[in-house]
Amino acid sequence: MASASLQFFAFILALFGVFGDITATLLPNWKVNADVGSNIITAITQMQGLWMDCTWYSTGMFSCTLKYSVLSLPVYIQAARTTMVLSCILSAFGICITTVGMKCTKLGGDTDSKSHACFAGGVCFILAGIFGLVPTSWYTREIISNFLDQTVPESSKHEPGGAVYTGFISAGFLLIAGVIFCTSCFKKQQGAWIYPPKQHHFPSAEQESNAGYNLKDYV
């Protein structure tokens, strides 16, 4: 019962991780630059994401421009696009697989099949967490190195946006959920290895008949 509750808790964490992963992939505020200028009325907030760049004016106007050209983008943005999409796909697969393998569901067949499905879903969550952690770390490194570079003008410097933090938190949720699913299945299999089922050997009919003939020889 405790293992089933732990799996349900991991499933909830995985759901938060999947939604956060998709949200971080689509949000345009991976890096933010707030240029107040000489007047608060002309304040501009520039945001750059994986798929679009947006500008928000203090007057309330909001405009976005899609990034159509892939080859013109920096390498870290291209890698972030690929890995974040893979993270979303793997986490979605993990949700489907663990739904079948969880102990609190009636899907997946016998206990061994559910255990294997649960382990496979945990592996998907771990891979999704790694694929989500790599681009956010790389993107943050590029932002910080650009910010500390003295040759870059102040207007071109950015800070990490909300999408980066959302990606970090989502990757952590997916990693924790994957470890819980894998360890819950591993403990069960390890217990079966340590305490194997006892096998009862019953004498066959041929052995009983041979024993009967041997006893008659002594009479």
Q: In this predicted structure, what is the pLDDT of residue 155?
A: 74
Q: In this predicted structure, what is the pLDDT of residue 82?
A: 94
Residue with tokens 């490194």: 141
pLDDT in tens, 23-48: 999 999 999 986 545 545 556 788 89
Residues composing the chain: 219
pTM score of the predicted model: 0.78
Whether 63 is in a domain gets the answer no
Whether 64 is in a domain gets the answer no
User: Which domain CATH number covers 118?
Assistant: 1.20.140.150
Whether 121 is in a domain gets the answer yes
Residue 91 contacts by C-beta under 8 Å, 6 or more apart in sequence? 14, 17, 18, 21, 124, 125, 128, 174
Range of the domain at 148: 4-27+71-194
Q: In this predicted structure, what is the pLDDT of residue 195?
A: 44
Q: In this predicted structure, what is the pLDDT of residue 207?
A: 54
Q: Give the count of domains, the chain.
A: 1
Whether 86 is in a domain gets the answer yes
DSSP string, the chain: -HHHHHHHHHHHHHHHHHHHHHHHHH-S-SEEEEE-TT-GGG-EEEEE-SSEEEEEETTS-EEEEE---STTS-HHHHHHHHHHHHHHHHHHHHHHHHHHH-TTSS-SSSHHHHHHHHHHHHHHHHHHHHHHHHHHHHHHHHHHHHHH-TTS-GGG--EE-HHHHHHHHHHHHHHHHHHHHHHHHHHHHHHHHHSPPP------HHHHHHHHHHHHHT-
Whether 156 is in a domain gets the answer yes
**Average pLDDT for runs of 10 along the chain of length 219:** 79 95 94 64 77 84 86 90 95 91 74 84 94 94 88 82 94 94 68 48 52 48
* Count of beta carbons in the 10 Å neighbourhood of residue 206: 8
Whether 181 and 118 have beta carbons less than 8 Å apart is answered as yes
Bridge partners of 52, per DSSP, are 66
Q: In this predicted structure, what is the pLDDT of residue 138?
A: 93
Q: In this predicted structure, what is the pLDDT of residue 215?
A: 43
Whether 84 is in a domain gets the answer yes
Q: In this predicted structure, what is the pLDDT of residue 85?
A: 96
Whether 166 is in a domain gets the answer yes
Q: Can you tell me the distance from the alpha carbon of 10 to that of 123, in angstroms, rounded to the nearest whole number? A: 13
Whether 216 is in a domain gets the answer no
